[in-house]
Amino acid sequence: MTIAVLFLIFGVLVVLQVPIAFAMGASGAVYLLLDGLFAPTVMVQRMAPGLHSFPLLAIPLFILAGHLLNHAGIAGRIFAFASTLVGHIRGGLAHVNVVASIIFAGMSGVAAADAAGLGAIEVKAMRKAGFTAPFSAAITAASAIIGPIVPPSVIMVLYAVMARVSIGDMFLAGILPGLVMGLLLMAMVYWLALTGRIQAPVSKCATLPSLWTAFVRALPALLAPVGLVGGLLLGVATPTELGALVCIYALLLGAIYRQFTLGRLLAAFSETVTSCGVILLLVAVGVPFGWIVAIKNLPQLFSETLVSISADPLVILLLINLGLLIAGAVMETAAILLIAVPMLYPLMQVMQIDPIHFGIVVVLNLVIGVTTPPFGMILFIMMDVAKVRMGELVRAMLPFYIPLFAVLALVILFPDFTLFVPRLFGY
């Protein structure tokens, strides 16, 4: 039976609002029943073993680290430090928003957690300072996607496990694009404020003592990303072990700051459990789904089709980009990764595109996709947080797509832009 039936069933179930993980699992099981070549026992044989992976453990650990830090009273300190650092620049709290997101990105690996956690704080502060709700939500959505680009990153872990590349190299490759994305977002905020397109109140330039005070208050929080990246660079521990160490560090910080009530700890852990349940079930059903795709030789067919269109790796990358961006706008990122990576990876090998470079291209496409209508997840979170309508939010987002796509273009056109840092450390 043609493999198109699998995708047809999956597509119909997704459109009929069946949760994606179950749509993926059910379409795989029904396809196997209809095809008859293999029994659905294959699903059972691959679902649980699909989770039997030590590198995958980094996912719950980095999710837990993000939630623990969110509840440890660290977000406020980071926000205050960023405020004294860049709050006086034209654009005011919008710059603070971006800088705080970059710092927080170094501790948390999920854009949705950044948007819903720190993002909620940022939007409230910006609204209080006189920014409009749509603009506050838009810059928060744009800056939240730095989270999965700067290490740690849950979708990078997922890509690395599926493509069998080093998680550490993926993390290192994301540093430069993430930082440049932050800088370009700040440049856009500055331009919008300069041309009067936004009303952006600024605070007074912080004195050196107040900057020092804010720095000292935020220092323990700032040490988490420094320790994480340092640990990766020095090869002190595996990314999974570093995830556990960051969690232990966050627990200690919360205890030192006396922020951890039983209620907050329970909130942090229950949010982690929910996020893990959503992602890990997707991985569990995605493994047999990917297996069906592979045994039906779809990656080979897909490669041949794309290569017949063009032999130029750049054109192929651009075509894949387009597909991933569209997929990112209508689907969940982990689900896309689970379907797309097994299909695209053989093609990347044929075209001799570096797997780490390709990984960053995939991650960037997917995270930009979650900020685009009609179903970008971050848009829905920000609509809820800032109480704005989709149309208002998307209009306010439009200028920020320019820096986001500019970074994507840089990454596609100049592989060294992503590979520079990993190569410095022996990749």
Which residue has 């022996």 as its token pair? Answer: 426
* Interface positions, 207-246, toward other proteins (CB under 8 A): 210, 214, 217, 237, 240-241, 243-245
Q: How far is the CB of 339 from other proteins (least distance, A)?
A: 14
Is residue 105 within 8 Å of 114, Cβ to Cβ? Answer: yes
Is residue 148 within 8 Å of 62, Cβ to Cβ? Answer: no
Q: At what angle do helices 333-350 and 298-309 cross, to 10 degrees?
A: 60
- Does residue number 319 form part of the binding site for other proteins (CB under 8 A)? no
248 versus 409: smaller Cβ distance to other proteins: 248
- Does residue number 40 form part of the binding site for other proteins (CB under 8 A)? yes
Is residue 107 within 8 Å of 221, Cβ to Cβ? Answer: yes
From CA 126, how far away is CA 149, in angstroms rounded?
24
Contacting residue, 186, 225, 299, 332, with other proteins by CB under 8 A = 332
- Does residue number 95 form part of the binding site for other proteins (CB under 8 A)? no
77 versus 296: smaller Cβ distance to other proteins: 77
Torsion of Cα atoms, 56 then 78 then 74 then 130, to 10°? -110
* Interface positions, 241-280, toward other proteins (CB under 8 A): 241, 243-245, 247-248, 259, 261, 263-274, 276-278, 280
Largest CA distance in the chain: 73
Q: How far is the CB of 197 from other proteins (least distance, A)?
A: 24
247 versus 411: smaller Cβ distance to other proteins: 247
- Does residue number 389 form part of the binding site for other proteins (CB under 8 A)? no
260 versus 417: smaller Cβ distance to other proteins: 260
* Interface positions, 142-201, toward other proteins (CB under 8 A): none
Contacting residue, 6, 71, 106, 404, with other proteins by CB under 8 A = 71
- Does residue number 353 form part of the binding site for other proteins (CB under 8 A)? no
What is the distance, to the nearest Å, from the Cα of residue 323 to the centroid of all Cα atoms in its chain? Answer: 18
With 0-12 / 13-18 / 19 or more C-beta atoms within 10 angstroms meaning exposed / middle / buried, residue 342 is buried
24 versus 419: smaller Cβ distance to other proteins: 24
For the chain, report the end-to-end CA distance as a whole number of angstroms: 43
- Total residues contacting other proteins by CB under 8 A comes to 91
